[in-house]
Amino acid sequence: MKSLFWGQLAIIALLTLIACAATPATIEVVSGPASGSAITSSPVVYSLATTGAGSCNWRASANGVSAEGSCVSEGGGRYRCEVELPSPGLYWVDLCSAGQPGVTVDDLDYRPRYGGSYPPLDDGSGGIAAGWGAWGGSAVADPLTVNYPGKGTVTVYRPEVLPAPRPTIVFVSGWGRDADTYKQLFRYVASKGFVLVNVYNENPGDIVNTYHNAFCMVEDTLARHPGWIDTSRVGLMGHSMGGGMAFWLAVRLFAERGWGASGRFVFVTAPWYTFLTTAADLARVPADTRVLVQAYEEDLFTDPEVYQLVFRLLPTPAAEKDFVYVRSGNVGDYAYHANHFTSYTGAMTQWDPVHYEPYDRLDAYALNRLLDALTAYVFDGEVSAKAVALGGGAAEQVNVGPLPELIVTDDPDFHDPAVEYEYVCRDDNDEGWDDLDIWMLEDACP
């Protein structure tokens, strides 16, 4: 009797396997990203349904990568298969394939939409077609925004496909400027395969709280998206007020939190005062932090002495930091103004509703090109990129196409004593913005 029982059981199992193998070759994709849609996390799960009898399994393969699992009966001969794809690819999925013919679906398209080009530029130049500064190949997901009442807003730009945490750039906005002010720069960073975290400060005049709020918002963003951000490879960027804050954040994130252990940099444009930061604080910034400070010929807002002094105080060796002076120029009838707002990307400047800052060759050559090479050198160890990013005035670095060459130095001294800058570092009086004791506990000019 016992042998008969086991014989019957074997027959039932065989019939079950055959029945499963005979499943009609129609598979319903119940849920999962459509082909070519934005994919913002990895792994991704497709839910498939098929009909048949027995206990079905699934196996997915793409580019030498495979995964497998079992399907769950929903009754009535219907099975639900949660197919988890481990990495981007065009997958072939086989159901009920335990050594027997099965049914397949070959259109689970878990891939980014590669290829990209510059958005239309205001000068009609088309940007940089190839080489350093060219638009990246990753499709960019819609930005994600989180509001922190009373503190500010964080906006995250990222590639559509993030199979693993990616090197990340934290960019602090200038005074009162939200993510839209720099959106093309942020899209450019994401197109190169990186994550960009933008910090917009709600109450920039409250310096002490603003600085600490920015730090807290960055840490909270990491807590929300640990699968997106690679804290071992981090760049800090900022414009104007945000540029000054970037050096303070370098102390907090690099020196105290240890971020960027496998690659870190600071790249600031037209930085304002660096509040709450002493010379002793700057000395704590790890010496392996690469540094680019960018100043502009027509910028009469921020006294260059402010950031020239910070540049000199940073412990980064001269060979790994550069002070870059961007000049204005003309190409035909088009005038390029290298001013305080150069890093804006097709946006209104400050609170002036009639001033539009163009997105043009200055953005492509002076910002995107240097940043592209800097990330390749710092994050990926691409030594050939250093000549462009931190070349100390090498021909590859100073060349900006048809525009006047960049001026690059390790000993900056750009200050016109005949010009009264709106935000001076020191002028030995108690008037205006340089009356710093109303803002802070430490001097803004270390």
pLDDT along the chain (446 residues), means of 10: 38 35 58 55 70 68 78 79 74 62 58 72 93 90 94 94 88 92 95 95 87 97 94 97 96 98 97 88 96 95 86 96 97 94 83 75 97 96 96 97 96 83 66 41 54
CATH number for the domain whose boundaries are 19-110: 2.60.40
What is d(CA 348, CA 351) in angstroms, rounded to the nearest whole number?
8
In the chain, the amino acid numbered 389 is: A
Neighbouring-strand partners of residue 198: 155, 171
Alpha carbon of 386 to those of 188, 380, 381: distances in Å?
A: 20, 11, 9
| DSSP secondary structure letters along 246-273 | HHHHIIIIIIIS-TTTT-EEEEEES---
Half-sphere exposure of 192 (CA within 13 A, CB side): 26
Within the chain, all domains assigned CATH 3.40.50.1820 are found at 144-438
Q: Which long-range contacts (CB under 8 A, 24 or more apart) does 414-420 make?
A: 414/295, 414/304, 414/308, 414/325, 415/303, 415/304, 415/305, 415/308, 419/300
By the 10 Å C-beta count (0-12 exposed, 13-18 middle, 19+ buried), 181 is classed as buried
Buried b (16+ CB within 10 A) or exposed e, 13-40: eeeebeebbbbeeebeeeebbeeeeebb
pLDDT, position 397: 98
Task: Measure the N-to-C terminal CA separation of the chain; round to a whole number of Å.
Answer: 93
What is d(CA 146, CA 160) in angstroms, rounded to the nearest whole number?
18
Which H or E run contains 219?
Answer: helix 207-224
Within the chain, all domains assigned CATH 2.60.40 are found at 19-110
Q: Are 427 and 434 in contact (CB under 8 A)?
A: yes
Q: Are 395 and 408 in contact (CB under 8 A)?
A: no
What is d(CA 77, CA 51) in angstroms, rounded to the nearest whole number?
5
pLDDT, position 95: 73
| Helix/strand/coil for 39 | coil
CATH number for the domain whose boundaries are 144-438: 3.40.50.1820
What is d(CA 340, CA 181) in angstroms, rounded to the nearest whole number?
13
**Cβ atoms within 10 A of the Cβ of 337, count?**
17
* Cis preceding-peptide flag for 33 (omega within 30 of 0): no
What is d(CA 326, CA 270) in angstroms, rounded to the nearest whole number?
10
